[in-house]
Structure 1
Amino acid sequence: MLPFSRLSLLAVVIALSACGGGSSGGGAPSAVQPGESSGAPEPGQPAGGESGSHASGAMDSKIDGVSFDSASFDFSEQTGIARVTVNRSGDISQPATIQFTTSDHTALAGEDYASETGSLTWAAGDGESKTIDIQLIINAQSEPVEQLSVELTDISGAQYGDFSSALVNVIDYQAECQPWSSYYVESPLTVSAGCYKVDKTIVVRRGGELALEAGARLEFADNEMMEIESDGLLIAAGTAQNPVVFTGQRAENGYWTGLFIRSLAESALEHVIVEYAGFGFDDSNISVSFAGAARFKSVLSRFSEGYGIRISEDAQISEFVSNRLTRNQSYPVAVGSNNAYVLDRTSIYTGNRTLDGQGRDAIALLDRSIRKDQEWEDVGVHYQTSTLGLELYSRLHILGGTTVVFRADTSFRIENTGELIVGSSAGPLVVFTGLEQIQGYWRGVEVYSGRENIIDNTVIEYAGSDAGYFEAAVGVNSHDGKLKLRNSLIQHSEGDGFSVGAQSSVEISNLTSTFNNRPGRVSVREVNSLSSNSDFSGNTVDRIFVTGNSLDRNNDQTFKAINVPYRIDKTTVNGPISLQSSVVIEAGVVIEFGLNAGFNIDVDGSLKAVGTPEKPILFTAAQKVRGGWNGFQYTFSGDPDNQIDHAIFEYGGESQGNTHALLGYFGSDVRGSVTNTIFRESLTNGLILSGMVTEAGNTFEGIQLQAIVDNR
């Protein structure tokens, strides 16, 4: 790497040249002639030569590394943005990062340009060029060439190339504005390049068509606006070098009201700058409301007192590509949730902040209902809900890398007709989080839909408010809810990480539920939904709570070996759970029971609990006292799968319970076997035998009444 002291101070020149003036005369004619070219260099061209040539004094030899594309560039102030290219060459095998900053010379930040600081990052093997965008400001004063600098600093993973520090020349733009006279446009009107002073609101309506050609600049008076009403049409067709500009007569945020599109006829804006509006009405530079139709390409919306652009839930947006919404005092975009899909990642939404410096880089969702099938992608900033949360009535696919931020006490409801697909196993994470990092800040995801809902590779955090229906970060409704929850992280829930209702259809796999009050709650009818490859540790109470008073017929369940105990107590059941289907309990499982709790294996049910010497199955009390829970009771169950082996029963035999033992078999037809099992610390009996039950190899410790009551 070259020592920084040996690097020359090299220049990037940004020339802001005057565009041609408009035609003379009063008002905007029906066919205004374009102004003549100013003869300024094409934006992005190096100063003093062809594209790619170096300025005077540039080094002839090329040094591999990170460098500006050239020593100097020219840009017209009219373009609104100076885009400076930074290249990386040579060894690109390592990741690289470099900081950049702008600073004043004779050009002043806030008057001639907007200061920029930031970083550029390359992954290993990435040799693509990056760009730094500098916002250029046109002011009313006639000025000579002014200068600012751009500097690359704090490089890591690479060395500096030829041009690491830059000087910027700012060439003034001045054009004499003529008054605008056509304030009600009700027939075709074409306006070519030139500056126009707009002192009243312009209304385009009743079949009127307003076509603004490249280089047209409209300067609006205080509180005035442009409205595209009924079947009016606006076509603003600028170019990169000569955009169409909508601005205020004074460079103040919110000086004029903005551009409002309400017409069903599709307006088109391409290479357009809208600035210094956002006062009143929809608080935005640009608003597409009701069923207004529009398309936007390469639009720069900046210096709004409110939003950069506002799109209602019923607006018809056919294209939204390569736009930049920055330097606004509120969010770059406010959009109806039903229309959030129109936004894309080719647009830039960063650099927005309030006057006190509070960041506003987010997509503000205006309402809660999503009724169109759509995709949300990572657009570089997060989506932020309104105070109403979200309700999904259609199919929504949220792609990897997307973050959705929820406001206080809101929820994401997947309604009966909704279908939510979140993330993928191979992609980057999706994040659902709260606006503030407080446990229970928002309610969580609530699934009422029986469609193919999938949450994959997702972080869900700071939810589980006790004001929510489920009191969990993710809740699946009884009877109709359906969800596959996999490869995900649930954390910082005020209640449970997840809640699975009875007769829902849920698959949980490779889930980490941690830093919650409890990892999860599941109906006894849906215990199958859990997987052994999940991690439920690290919570205030590391227990999976089992709910429900009965397991119906034809609903076989397995208690899988997970890394925390199951708990069944009076907070989740009203007494022993009636099992009318087959239940299997895997080796190593621990189940804790509360007072009055236990299992009653009915005539149509069975229970098989087979452990190993290394991994016995433990049935114990939540409170480690004799009689802390009821016990197991096989009642007339003749199923040959009734088998208990290498298990431990302890702290049960509640005196008020039906079993009066840790384990009891009742009825002449009952079948089963109990072997190699430990019975200890019973308030009543240890084991009661009836029917055709066999026992062998069992041990008894601390039994207050009889170790074995044999009624066979």
Structure 2
Amino acid sequence: MKRTSIIIPLSLALFSALISCKETEETPEPTPVVNLKANAGADQDVLPIQATTLDGSASTGNNTKTFSWTIVSKPSNSKLTLAQPTAVKPTFTPDIVGYYEFELTVTQGNEKSQDRVRVKVEYKEPITIDKPINEKTHLADRFIDPMKPDYLVTKDISVNAELIVAPGVTMAFDRDKALSIEEKGMIDAVGLSENRIRFTGMQLQKGYWAGIKLYSPGAANKMAFVNVEYGAGKIAFTNTKAGLAMFGNKKAQISLSDCLFATNDGYGLYVQTGAVLKDFKRNSFERQSQAGILIDAINATYLDADSKFTGANERDVVEVSSSIIKEGTNVSWPAFKDETKYRILGNMEVETGWTLKPGVTVEVERDVMISVNRNGYLSAQGTTDKKVVITGVRRNEVYWRGIIIYSVSNQNVIQHAEISGGGSAVIVSGRRANVVAYGKGAKLTIKNTRLTYSGGYGILYTSDADVNSDAATTNTFASNNAANVAKF
């Protein structure tokens, strides 16, 4: 009996031990918990068009975690996309200079973690340009800093092919060097409002470099969001210096929009007779040694009301060279929102329609005459609150020669205007006047106009001309040296 009682407890103990061992072997160990944390890697400095790898491999978490890369920011005109946005180490090639920022999102179950990395893309050195451009050339932005020159121009450069200048490019010119867009050349310089193109001097001194000369008649020539600054150091044409000079004998043409002409040692823009402003919008002129612009009478019609010509220039006016407004090209001069005045520098002949819009002020240089010839007409019709003003450069004195109208057109109308300071010299038949209608059939309707400070008559007309009969009563006169209205 004692033996049996001993065996039973031993058997039970052994059975219990076996069961305990089996349970221990079948219980899996708990999976270690690893904190989820995204790591997008260190910031990088790379060259444009260089294959670049993002690295999220230092991110922590379990093996089930997933990766997602997105582009947070890039240069505004970059076309970059990520081809492998879910890779741990995606590769991309930056297409232009600038800062690129990427965000890595690491997800594990319901958890996620994010981190960002910035890639700085730019070249190390500027490029020197010292040879003519004779084949299609694309100048890319090389540096992020807009004040740092991307290209150093050390010689006079002639452009005989297509020249494309990318947003953000700065071309810095050595002393007295010029960029000449020749007849067979073309310039396409289109920047962005936040990434402008700059043509400037190696030193920021007024007149340090010569400027841009445009001979090309190509319709594709254009500049937008461009600064032309510190130029006009050398004469472009007949003692005239300008940041950009357009040559008429080659029928140069260009479109200009949102450009700034600043700190040039002459005019900002010179448009010679025969050249063509194909388009002109929202341009500004500041701190020139002359006026902001010198233009012929025909091209003045392409100026827009939003452009600004008053910006601490030596003369805050639009200067108009001696011109002939030829038949077939009706011309209309707009008024400017900044109230800039036109200034006529030399005699002007009108052989077609010339319209002055309400609010226009025209200043005329000493002894200059305006002639409206047989087939032309002058329409200067203001309003009660926006008069058309034609006066001498120096106000309230006899200064310029006057207007003579030979035209037989019924469109010769002056209304709600002010005409002052004519009659500085004889205009016809030994007589002086602000306005003259001369010859058989010459027509003029003039009403609600104030005529003052004439060196002779206010209004003068020949007996065979046709002037409204109430000219003496529907207009006002003051300080004229002869009769207000006279017929001879």
Determine if the TM-score, normalized by the shorter chain, exceeds 0.5.
Answer: yes
Name 1:365's counterpart in structure 2: 129
The structural deviation recorded for 1:624 is 2.4
Q: Spell out, residue by residue over 1:664-710, the C-alpha distance to the aligned partner (whole angstroms, 9 max, x if none).
A: 11112101200110111222111113411213621001112111113
Partners in 2 of 1:638 and 1:701 — Cα distance? 28
Name 1:428's counterpart in structure 2: 195
The structural deviation recorded for 1:428 is 3.2
Select which of 658, 662, 687 maps to 2:459.
687
Name 1:406's counterpart in structure 2: 173
Distance 1:379-1:700 versus aligned 2 partners, 3 A rule: same
1:461 partnered with 2:237: no
Distance 1:653-1:128 versus aligned 2 partners, 3 A rule: farther
Distance 1:676-1:376 versus aligned 2 partners, 3 A rule: same
1:540 partnered with 2:310: no
Select which of 641, 646, 652 maps to 2:416.
646
Name 1:702's counterpart in structure 2: 479
Partners in 1 of 2:229 and 2:370 — Cα distance? 35
Partners in 2 of 1:162 and 1:650 — Cα distance? 69
User: Does the aligned pair in 2 maintain the 1:536–1:564 contact within 8 Å?
Assistant: yes
The SS at the match of 1:620 is strand
Worse overlay, 410-419 or 647-656: 647-656
User: Does the aligned pair in 2 maintain the 1:412–1:446 contact within 8 Å?
Assistant: yes
The structural deviation recorded for 1:397 is 1.6
Number of equivalent positions: 388
Name 1:513's counterpart in structure 2: 285
The structural deviation recorded for 1:530 is 1.5
User: Does the aligned pair in 2 maintain the 1:365–1:383 contact within 8 Å?
Assistant: no
Q: Spell out, residue by residue over 1:646-670, the C-alpha distance to the aligned partner (whole angstroms, 9 max, x if none).
A: 1101122214444611111111210
Select which of 218, 242, 254 maps to 1:472.
242
User: Does the aligned pair in 2 maintain the 1:62–1:161 contact within 8 Å?
Assistant: no
The SS at the match of 1:451 is coil
Distance 1:706-1:65 versus aligned 2 partners, 3 A rule: farther
The SS at the match of 1:703 is coil
Partners in 2 of 1:407 and 1:477 — Cα distance? 23
Q: Which amino acid aligns with 1:366?
A: D
User: Does the aligned pair in 2 maintain the 1:409–1:467 contact within 8 Å?
Assistant: no
Q: Which amino acid aligns with 1:380?
A: F
User: Does the aligned pair in 1 maintain the 2:129–2:155 contact within 8 Å?
Assistant: no
Name 1:485's counterpart in structure 2: 256
Distance 1:379-1:542 versus aligned 2 partners, 3 A rule: same
Name 2:9's counterpart in structure 1: none
Q: What is the correspondence of 1:491-502 to structure 2 with a 5 Å cutoff?
A: 491-502=262-273
Name 1:377's counterpart in structure 2: 140
Select which of 603, 623, 629 maps to 2:400.
629
Select which of 336, 344, 356 maps to 1:585.
356
Q: What is the correspondence of 1:101-250 to structure 2 with a 5 Å cutoff?
A: 126-127=102-103
Select which of 1, 22, 42 maps to 1:68.
42
The structural deviation recorded for 1:348 is 4.8
Q: Spell out, residue by residue over 1:194-241, the C-alpha distance to the aligned partner (whole angstroms, 9 max, x if none).
A: xxxxxxxxxxxxxxxxxxxxxxxxxxxxxxxxxxxxxxxxxxxxxxxx
Select the structure of larger CA radius of gyration: 2
Name 1:203's counterpart in structure 2: none
Unaligned runs of at least 5 residues, structure 2: 1-33, 44-51, 60-66, 75-97, 106-113
Partners in 1 of 2:307 and 2:35 — Cα distance? 58
The SS at the match of 1:599 is strand
The SS at the match of 2:298 is helix
Select which of 534, 549, 554 maps to 2:328.
554
Q: What is the correspondence of 1:82-101 to structure 2 with a 5 Å cutoff?
A: none
Name 1:286's counterpart in structure 2: none
Name 1:530's counterpart in structure 2: 303
The structural deviation recorded for 1:642 is 0.6
Name 1:601's counterpart in structure 2: 372
The SS at the match of 1:127 is strand
Partners in 2 of 1:374 and 1:410 — Cα distance? 19
User: Does the aligned pair in 1 maintain the 2:207–2:265 contact within 8 Å?
Assistant: yes
User: Does the aligned pair in 1 maintain the 2:322–2:344 contact within 8 Å?
Assistant: no
The structural deviation recorded for 1:425 is 6.2
The structural deviation recorded for 1:445 is 1.3
Select which of 159, 175, 184 maps to 1:392.
159
User: Does the aligned pair in 1 maintain the 2:104–2:115 contact within 8 Å?
Assistant: no
Q: Which amino acid aligns with 1:465?
A: G
| Structure with more relative contact order (C-alpha pairs < 8 Å, separation 6 or more) | 2
Q: Spell out, residue by residue over 1:375-426, the C-alpha distance to the aligned partner (whole angstroms, 9 max, x if none).
A: 2222337433443132110111212222211111111101011111111567
Name 1:185's counterpart in structure 2: none
Task: Compute the TM-score of the two structures, normalised by the length of structure 1.
Answer: 0.50
Q: Spell out, residue by residue over 1:343-396, the C-alpha distance to the aligned partner (whole angstroms, 9 max, x if none).
A: xxx98522xxxxxxxxxx3111232x1111232222337433443132110111
Select which of 440, 445, 452 maps to 1:673.
445
Q: Spell out, residue by residue over 1:171-204, the C-alpha distance to the aligned partner (whole angstroms, 9 max, x if none).
A: xxxxxxxxxxxxxxxxxxxxxxxxxxxxxxxxxx
Unaligned runs of at least 5 residues, structure 1: 1-59, 70-81, 97-119, 130-159, 164-345, 351-360
Distance 1:549-1:162 versus aligned 2 partners, 3 A rule: closer
Q: Spell out, residue by residue over 1:629-659, the C-alpha distance to the aligned partner (whole angstroms, 9 max, x if none).
A: 1111102x10111111111011222144446
Partners in 1 of 2:166 and 2:297 — Cα distance? 33
Q: What is the correspondence of 1:294-443 to structure 2 with a 5 Å cutoff?
A: 348-350=122-124, 361-367=125-131, 369-380=132-143, 382-423=149-190, 428-443=195-210
User: Does the aligned pair in 1 maintain the 2:326–2:350 contact within 8 Å?
Assistant: yes
Q: What is the correspondence of 1:275-286 to structure 2 with a 5 Å cutoff?
A: none
User: Does the aligned pair in 1 maintain the 2:392–2:420 contact within 8 Å?
Assistant: yes
Distance 1:461-1:623 versus aligned 2 partners, 3 A rule: same
User: Does the aligned pair in 2 maintain the 1:590–1:617 contact within 8 Å?
Assistant: yes
Partners in 2 of 1:653 and 1:528 — Cα distance? 27
Q: Tell me the C-alpha RMSD between the 2 structures.
A: 3.4
Select which of 556, 566, 570 maps to 2:342.
566
Task: Compute the TM-score of the two structures, normalised by the length of structure 2.
Answer: 0.72
User: Does the aligned pair in 2 maintain the 1:626–1:653 contact within 8 Å?
Assistant: no
Q: Which amino acid aligns with 1:375?
A: H
Partners in 2 of 1:474 and 1:681 — Cα distance? 38
Select which of 275, 282, 288 maps to 1:504.
275
Percent of matched pairs sharing the same residue: 19
Partners in 2 of 1:620 and 1:476 — Cα distance? 29
Partners in 2 of 1:605 and 1:705 — Cα distance? 28
Q: Which amino acid aligns with 2:308?
A: D
User: Does the aligned pair in 1 maintain the 2:232–2:264 contact within 8 Å?
Assistant: yes
- Between Structure 1 and Structure 2, the one with more helix by share is 2
User: Does the aligned pair in 2 maintain the 1:406–1:435 contact within 8 Å?
Assistant: yes
Q: Which amino acid aligns with 1:364?
A: T
The structural deviation recorded for 1:486 is 1.2
Partners in 2 of 1:85 and 1:657 — Cα distance? 83
